[in-house]
Structure 1
Amino acid sequence: MQATGPMRKATVAMYAGAALTLVAVLALVVDQSGGGLARHLHDTYPGRAPGWLDMATASIAGYLYTLYGAGFVLWLWMARKAGKGTRSLRIAATAAFVVGSVLLVYNFSQPHPLAVTVTGALPCLSGLAAVAFLWAGRATPKSVTA
């Protein structure tokens, strides 16, 4: 079964989410290469030992790379399922969107550089669009005859 209408639009939104995830990874790589995260942590927590800053920087970067990697794989899996017209994807995509949104709120509460957090938020916009398209294709209830 091939995707049509809203399901096709959801597929495009999911591939856009995968692309935006790569943009978020690129922003993190650029930030890391310039020492932005380490500098941001140093400014946020002055007086901490250099070893602590190194550990915190590595931990946060590892968390973000893992999050982006898992998100990228999930985007591609969901886009493939949506491209085949798999209607049961609605619940999985909605759950992924909710989890991604919770992680986004968490990330905004953490001492990450703003540019890294904002670019990390971009895939959630695609997630919102994809979920909206998936549910827009929902069948309408049967009409009741009197």
Structure 2
Amino acid sequence: MMMQQQVSADRGNVMKRAYISVLLMVALLVSFVPSASAAFSYTSPIYNLSGGTIYFGNGVIVNTGQYYDTLTVNVYKKECTTTSSCTNIWVGSKTISLSSQQYTYPGASGAPLIPIVTGTAAGQYFYTLSAPGSWHVMASIHN
């Protein structure tokens, strides 16, 4: 009886060690996989702009990720028929591609502003930023 209990205890310890080893291997493998949730996104507040060309810039844009990446800037016009009924209408977009840790200052130090769309009417506009990687953006839209 004593021998049977010892064999049963040894099997339990072996199973625990095997389970812990499998968990450690999974954790090690997962640590090498890039995170799928490391995406960058931002929605701006509303800007009241006059008609004409809408530009993006006057601030720094940095790819803070580990890889070459593309940032997408989408601009929308907020059209309201009543105080409670508004529609967001896409008016244009641009992409900004930078290598890891590369930056740009559109509108400063001689770098041109980034034109998004021309021929717009005066109104309320906002923009969204999206990228698969990590970014630091201090620029905005304006006329």
Superposition TM-score tier, normalisation by shorter sequence: under 0.3
Q: Which has the higher strand share?
A: 2
- The TM-score, its normalising length taken from structure 1, stands at 0.25
- The TM-score, its normalising length taken from structure 2, stands at 0.25
Higher relative contact order (CA 8 A, sep 6+): 1
